[in-house]
Protein backbone atom coordinates (compact mmCIF):
# COMPACT_ATOMS: atom_id res chain seq x y z
CA UNK A 1 0.00 0.00 0.00
CA UNK A 2 1.43 3.40 -1.02
CA UNK A 3 1.23 6.66 0.91
CA UNK A 4 1.56 7.27 4.64
CA UNK A 5 0.93 4.38 7.01
CA UNK A 6 -2.71 3.93 7.96
CA UNK A 7 -4.06 2.97 11.37
CA UNK A 8 -4.52 -0.55 9.98
CA UNK A 9 -0.89 -0.72 8.82
CA UNK A 10 0.37 0.10 12.30
CA UNK A 11 -1.89 -2.40 14.04
CA UNK A 12 -1.19 -5.20 11.57
CA UNK A 13 2.57 -4.57 11.81
CA UNK A 14 2.35 -5.07 15.57
CA UNK A 15 0.40 -8.31 15.13
CA UNK A 16 2.83 -9.62 12.51
CA UNK A 17 5.74 -8.92 14.85
CA UNK A 18 3.97 -10.84 17.61
CA UNK A 19 3.25 -13.74 15.23
CA UNK A 20 6.90 -13.88 14.18
CA UNK A 21 7.93 -14.13 17.83
CA UNK A 22 5.37 -16.83 18.65
CA UNK A 23 7.18 -20.06 19.56
CA UNK A 24 4.12 -22.20 20.27
CA UNK A 25 3.79 -25.49 18.42
CA UNK A 26 1.35 -24.96 15.55
CA UNK A 27 0.58 -28.68 15.47
CA UNK A 28 -0.33 -28.69 19.17
CA UNK A 29 -2.47 -25.58 18.76
CA UNK A 30 -4.23 -27.10 15.75
CA UNK A 31 -4.94 -30.30 17.68
CA UNK A 32 -6.33 -28.33 20.62
CA UNK A 33 -8.56 -26.34 18.27
CA UNK A 34 -9.84 -29.52 16.63
CA UNK A 35 -10.74 -30.96 20.04
CA UNK A 36 -13.15 -28.12 20.88
CA UNK A 37 -16.94 -28.65 20.84
CA UNK A 38 -18.64 -27.78 17.54
CA UNK A 39 -18.92 -24.03 16.97
CA UNK A 40 -22.24 -22.23 16.98
CA UNK A 41 -23.50 -21.34 13.51
CA UNK A 42 -22.71 -17.66 12.97
CA UNK A 43 -23.81 -17.23 9.34
CA UNK A 44 -26.94 -19.32 9.94
CA UNK A 45 -27.94 -17.04 12.82
CA UNK A 46 -27.71 -14.01 10.52
CA UNK A 47 -29.77 -15.78 7.87
CA UNK A 48 -32.42 -16.80 10.40
CA UNK A 49 -32.93 -13.18 11.48
CA UNK A 50 -32.96 -11.92 7.89
CA UNK A 51 -35.62 -14.53 7.05
CA UNK A 52 -37.97 -12.84 9.54
CA UNK A 53 -37.68 -9.54 7.66
CA UNK A 54 -35.58 -7.91 10.37
CA UNK A 55 -32.04 -6.63 10.04
CA UNK A 56 -29.55 -8.99 11.72
CA UNK A 57 -27.44 -7.20 14.32
CA UNK A 58 -23.91 -8.31 15.17
CA UNK A 59 -23.52 -6.48 18.49
CA UNK A 60 -19.96 -5.70 19.50
CA UNK A 61 -18.23 -5.71 22.86
CA UNK A 62 -15.56 -3.03 22.57
CA UNK A 63 -13.76 -1.33 25.44
CA UNK A 64 -11.83 1.28 23.50
CA UNK A 65 -10.94 2.48 20.01
CA UNK A 66 -7.62 3.82 18.62
CA UNK A 67 -9.49 6.83 17.22
CA UNK A 68 -12.02 7.45 20.02
CA UNK A 69 -10.12 6.34 23.12
CA UNK A 70 -11.99 4.65 25.97
CA UNK A 71 -15.63 3.79 25.26
CA UNK A 72 -16.31 1.76 28.41
CA UNK A 73 -12.99 0.49 29.70
CA UNK A 74 -14.54 -1.17 32.74
CA UNK A 75 -17.47 -2.88 31.04
CA UNK A 76 -18.74 -6.24 32.30
CA UNK A 77 -18.54 -8.46 29.21
CA UNK A 78 -21.16 -11.03 30.33
CA UNK A 79 -23.62 -8.29 31.33
CA UNK A 80 -23.19 -6.53 27.98
CA UNK A 81 -23.62 -9.83 26.12
CA UNK A 82 -26.84 -10.56 28.02
CA UNK A 83 -28.21 -7.10 27.22
CA UNK A 84 -27.46 -7.62 23.55
CA UNK A 85 -29.16 -11.02 23.59
CA UNK A 86 -32.24 -9.54 25.29
CA UNK A 87 -32.40 -6.92 22.57
CA UNK A 88 -32.49 -9.54 19.83
CA UNK A 89 -28.92 -9.53 18.53
CA UNK A 90 -28.25 -12.33 16.07
CA UNK A 91 -24.57 -12.65 17.00
CA UNK A 92 -21.84 -11.08 19.08
CA UNK A 93 -18.52 -9.59 18.04
CA UNK A 94 -15.86 -9.39 20.75
CA UNK A 95 -12.60 -7.44 20.45
CA UNK A 96 -9.66 -9.50 21.68
CA UNK A 97 -6.84 -7.14 20.67
CA UNK A 98 -5.31 -5.87 23.92
CA UNK A 99 -2.81 -3.20 22.86
CA UNK A 100 -5.07 -1.08 20.65
CA UNK A 101 -8.62 -1.96 21.75
CA UNK A 102 -8.27 -3.08 25.36
CA UNK A 103 -9.87 -6.45 24.61
CA UNK A 104 -8.88 -9.97 25.61
CA UNK A 105 -9.57 -13.65 25.16
CA UNK A 106 -11.11 -13.51 28.62
CA UNK A 107 -13.72 -11.06 27.36
CA UNK A 108 -14.68 -13.44 24.58
CA UNK A 109 -14.88 -16.47 26.84
CA UNK A 110 -16.93 -14.63 29.45
CA UNK A 111 -19.32 -13.10 26.92
CA UNK A 112 -19.88 -16.35 25.06
CA UNK A 113 -20.41 -18.25 28.30
CA UNK A 114 -23.22 -15.90 29.30
CA UNK A 115 -25.36 -16.27 26.17
CA UNK A 116 -26.40 -18.71 23.46
CA UNK A 117 -25.37 -16.46 20.56
CA UNK A 118 -22.57 -17.26 18.10
CA UNK A 119 -19.48 -15.12 18.62
CA UNK A 120 -17.04 -13.52 16.18
CA UNK A 121 -13.47 -13.00 17.34
CA UNK A 122 -12.82 -9.41 16.24
CA UNK A 123 -9.07 -9.19 15.86
CA UNK A 124 -6.31 -8.94 13.26
CA UNK A 125 -5.69 -12.41 11.87
CA UNK A 126 -2.21 -12.61 10.36
CA UNK A 127 -1.22 -16.26 10.88
CA UNK A 128 -2.80 -19.73 11.04
CA UNK A 129 -2.13 -19.73 14.80
CA UNK A 130 -4.55 -16.82 15.15
CA UNK A 131 -7.35 -18.94 13.68
CA UNK A 132 -6.58 -21.95 15.86
CA UNK A 133 -6.32 -19.67 18.91
CA UNK A 134 -9.74 -18.20 18.11
CA UNK A 135 -11.34 -21.65 18.16
CA UNK A 136 -9.55 -22.58 21.38
CA UNK A 137 -10.89 -19.46 23.13
CA UNK A 138 -14.40 -20.37 21.95
CA UNK A 139 -14.92 -18.18 18.89
CA UNK A 140 -17.42 -19.43 16.33
CA UNK A 141 -16.22 -17.12 13.55
CA UNK A 142 -13.12 -15.15 12.65
CA UNK A 143 -12.47 -11.89 10.81
CA UNK A 144 -10.16 -11.70 7.80
CA UNK A 145 -9.33 -8.17 6.59
CA UNK A 146 -8.48 -8.23 2.89
CA UNK A 147 -6.42 -5.02 3.08
CA UNK A 148 -4.12 -6.66 5.64
CA UNK A 149 -3.49 -9.98 3.88
CA UNK A 150 -2.06 -11.42 0.68
CA UNK A 151 -4.23 -13.52 -1.60
CA UNK A 152 -2.40 -16.62 -0.41
CA UNK A 153 -3.01 -15.77 3.23
CA UNK A 154 -6.70 -15.06 2.61
CA UNK A 155 -7.18 -18.46 1.00
CA UNK A 156 -5.09 -20.29 3.60
CA UNK A 157 -6.69 -18.74 6.67
CA UNK A 158 -10.18 -19.08 5.21
CA UNK A 159 -9.51 -22.78 4.66
CA UNK A 160 -8.16 -23.28 8.17
CA UNK A 161 -11.24 -21.67 9.71
CA UNK A 162 -13.80 -23.52 7.61
CA UNK A 163 -11.90 -26.75 8.25
CA UNK A 164 -12.60 -26.20 11.95
CA UNK A 165 -16.29 -25.64 11.22
CA UNK A 166 -16.05 -21.89 11.79
CA UNK A 167 -17.60 -19.13 9.71
CA UNK A 168 -15.45 -16.37 8.24
CA UNK A 169 -16.35 -12.70 7.93
CA UNK A 170 -14.16 -11.28 5.16
CA UNK A 171 -13.86 -7.49 5.35
CA UNK A 172 -13.45 -5.33 2.25
CA UNK A 173 -13.21 -1.60 1.52
CA UNK A 174 -13.50 -1.40 -2.28
CA UNK A 175 -14.28 -3.32 -5.48
CA UNK A 176 -10.79 -4.75 -5.86
CA UNK A 177 -10.90 -6.16 -2.35
CA UNK A 178 -14.37 -7.57 -3.05
CA UNK A 179 -12.94 -9.46 -6.04
CA UNK A 180 -10.11 -10.79 -3.88
CA UNK A 181 -12.56 -11.90 -1.17
CA UNK A 182 -14.63 -13.79 -3.73
CA UNK A 183 -11.51 -15.47 -5.12
CA UNK A 184 -10.69 -16.70 -1.61
CA UNK A 185 -14.10 -18.34 -1.31
CA UNK A 186 -15.84 -15.81 0.94
CA UNK A 187 -19.56 -16.30 1.49
CA UNK A 188 -19.92 -13.75 4.32
CA UNK A 189 -18.55 -10.33 3.36
CA UNK A 190 -18.34 -7.24 5.53
CA UNK A 191 -18.10 -3.81 3.92
CA UNK A 192 -16.25 -1.36 6.14
CA UNK A 193 -17.54 2.15 5.45
CA UNK A 194 -14.54 3.77 7.15
CA UNK A 195 -11.72 5.06 4.95
CA UNK A 196 -8.39 3.54 5.93
CA UNK A 197 -6.45 6.78 5.39
CA UNK A 198 -8.80 9.54 6.59
CA UNK A 199 -10.79 7.35 9.03
CA UNK A 200 -13.92 9.14 7.78
CA UNK A 201 -17.15 7.21 7.20
CA UNK A 202 -18.33 7.11 3.59
CA UNK A 203 -21.93 5.78 3.29
CA UNK A 204 -21.69 5.82 -0.51
CA UNK A 205 -19.05 3.11 -0.27
CA UNK A 206 -21.52 0.67 1.30
CA UNK A 207 -24.21 1.43 -1.27
CA UNK A 208 -21.78 1.05 -4.16
CA UNK A 209 -20.37 -2.25 -2.96
CA UNK A 210 -23.79 -3.67 -2.12
CA UNK A 211 -24.72 -3.21 -5.78
CA UNK A 212 -21.57 -5.10 -6.82
CA UNK A 213 -22.12 -7.99 -4.41
CA UNK A 214 -22.72 -11.33 -6.18
CA UNK A 215 -25.89 -13.27 -5.41
CA UNK A 216 -25.59 -15.85 -2.66
CA UNK A 217 -23.34 -13.63 -0.52
CA UNK A 218 -24.43 -12.52 2.94
CA UNK A 219 -23.52 -8.83 3.10
CA UNK A 220 -22.67 -7.15 6.40
CA UNK A 221 -22.22 -3.38 6.79
CA UNK A 222 -19.58 -2.20 9.27
CA UNK A 223 -18.57 1.12 10.86
CA UNK A 224 -20.41 4.42 11.11
CA UNK A 225 -23.82 2.97 11.98
CA UNK A 226 -25.12 5.50 14.47
CA UNK A 227 -28.75 4.41 14.83
CA UNK A 228 -31.88 3.08 13.15
CA UNK A 229 -31.89 5.67 10.34
CA UNK A 230 -28.44 4.77 9.01
CA UNK A 231 -29.14 1.07 9.61
CA UNK A 232 -32.41 1.27 7.65
CA UNK A 233 -30.59 2.84 4.71
CA UNK A 234 -28.14 -0.05 4.70
CA UNK A 235 -30.96 -2.59 4.85
CA UNK A 236 -32.59 -0.85 1.89
CA UNK A 237 -29.29 -1.06 0.00
CA UNK A 238 -29.29 -4.83 0.39
CA UNK A 239 -27.40 -5.56 3.59
CA UNK A 240 -28.67 -8.52 5.61
CA UNK A 241 -26.75 -7.50 8.71
CA UNK A 242 -24.91 -4.69 10.45
CA UNK A 243 -21.97 -4.90 12.84
CA UNK A 244 -22.30 -2.17 15.45
CA UNK A 245 -19.96 -1.38 18.32
CA UNK A 246 -19.53 2.19 19.54
CA UNK A 247 -23.19 3.18 19.16
CA UNK A 248 -24.33 0.26 21.29
CA UNK A 249 -21.57 0.55 23.88
CA UNK A 250 -22.39 4.24 24.42
CA UNK A 251 -26.14 3.60 24.65
CA UNK A 252 -27.84 4.05 28.01
CA UNK A 253 -30.09 1.07 27.20
CA UNK A 254 -28.13 -1.41 25.14
CA UNK A 255 -30.94 -3.94 24.78
CA UNK A 256 -33.34 -1.29 23.48
CA UNK A 257 -30.68 0.05 21.10
CA UNK A 258 -30.23 -3.42 19.58
CA UNK A 259 -34.00 -3.84 19.22
CA UNK A 260 -34.28 -0.49 17.43
CA UNK A 261 -31.58 -1.50 14.94
CA UNK A 262 -33.06 -4.94 14.37
CA UNK A 263 -36.55 -3.62 13.67
CA UNK A 264 -35.51 -0.69 11.46
CA UNK A 265 -35.79 -2.70 8.22
CA UNK A 266 -39.37 -3.73 8.94
CA UNK A 267 -40.29 -0.18 9.92
CA UNK A 268 -38.83 1.18 6.67
CA UNK A 269 -40.94 -1.22 4.62
Which active-site residues does the annotation give? 60, 62, 122, 171, 192, 222-223
Distance, CA of 263 to CA of 265 (rounded, Å):
6
End-to-end CA distance of the chain: 41
- The DSSP bridge pattern shows strands 56-61 and 91-95 to be parallel
- Number of Cβ atoms within 10 Å of the Cβ of 248: 24
Distance, CA of 87 to CA of 90 (rounded, Å):
9
Distance, CA of 201 to CA of 90 (rounded, Å):
24
Strand partners, 192: 222
Q: Which of 101, 170, 157 is nearest to 130 (CA)?
A: 157
Q: Which of 167, 130, 122, 126 is nearest to 148 (CA)?
A: 126
Contact 142, 125 (CB under 8 A): yes
Name the DSSP letter for residue 264: H
Contact 220, 191 (CB under 8 A): yes
Amino acid sequence: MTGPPTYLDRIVAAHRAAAAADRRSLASLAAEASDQPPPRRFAAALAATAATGDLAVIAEIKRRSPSRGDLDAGLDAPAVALAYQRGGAACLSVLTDEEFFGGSAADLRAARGAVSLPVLRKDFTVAPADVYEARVMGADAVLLIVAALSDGELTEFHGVATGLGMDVLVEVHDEDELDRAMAAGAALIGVNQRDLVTFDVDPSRAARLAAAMPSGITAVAESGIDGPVSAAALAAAGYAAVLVGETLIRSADRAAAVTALRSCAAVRR
